[in-house]
Amino acid sequence: MFHGSHHITAVPASESEIEAEVNAVRAVSESICPPKITLDRVVLTSTGVLVGCWQVDSGSDPVTIRQKLRNALPHAPAKQLYDAVMLHTSFARLLGHPSSWPEEANKVSELQFLHELVSRLNNKIRGTKATVGELWYVEEYDILALALDGRMKVRKFQLGCSKV
């Protein structure tokens, strides 16, 4: 949702600064209403990322959440990694084609086949509903730890929906 630091613009912080950030994120979480979301579609990007694009049906929207986090974390990188209004989930990254293909894949190009698989996936999961109930503060001890299952410390805060 928002990065207080990231692999492109690392923001070092002392233990006391981290605790201040944790408390700030906790306060933001208490003021956010849980977004109820619906999966609009799954797309395959040109870089091979399988992305789920969500629509917010009710609750706090991503722009509001990100603005509150921006205000709470003033040292965070100005350049975030995605558009402020977009709510997405990266499901997977395709690094190459599999060593063996199903027989039906031999009839079309690899790209056409991948697009057909994405279309099938869309038909199965489009419209999936979810509620985002937590905001996480993650300290990554390894670069891209959250993405690559590295060492990290996760603190989870329930969204409270109070008028703060």
Confidence of residue 109 (pLDDT cuts 50, 70, 90): confident
Beta bridge pairs of residue 7 = none
Q: With 60 as the cut, is the pLDDT of residue 80 above it?
A: no
Tokens of 2: 């928002």
Residue 4 lies in a domain: no
Q: Is residue 9 in some structural domain? A: no
- Degrees to nearest 5, angle at CA 70 with 40 and 41: 10
What pLDDT score does 61 carry?
Answer: 92
* Residue listed under structure tokens 């790209």: 111
What is the model's pLDDT at position 2?
Answer: 63
Domain that residue 99 falls in: 15-158
- Give 95's pLDDT tier (boundaries 50, 70, 90): confident
DSSP letter at 140 equals E
Kindly indicate the confidence band of residue 66, based on its pLDDT and cuts at 50, 70 and 90.
confident
Angle of helix 62-72 versus helix 15-31 axis, rounded to 10: 150
In a domain, residue 70? The reply is yes
Could you tell me what percent of the chain has a pLDDT over 70?
A: 82
Residue 102 included in any domain: yes
Is 98 a domain residue?
A: yes
Overall number of domains in the chain: 1
Looking at residue 77, what is its pLDDT? 63
Sole residue written with tokens 């975030």: 80
How large is the greatest C-alpha to C-alpha distance in the chain, in angstroms? 60
Mean of the per-residue pLDDT values of the chain: 84
For residues 113 and 44, give the distance between their C-alpha atoms in angstroms, rounded to a whole number.
12
| The residue type at 138 | V
Whether residue 1 lies inside any domain: the answer is no
Residue 152 lies in a domain: yes
Structural domain contains residue 41: yes
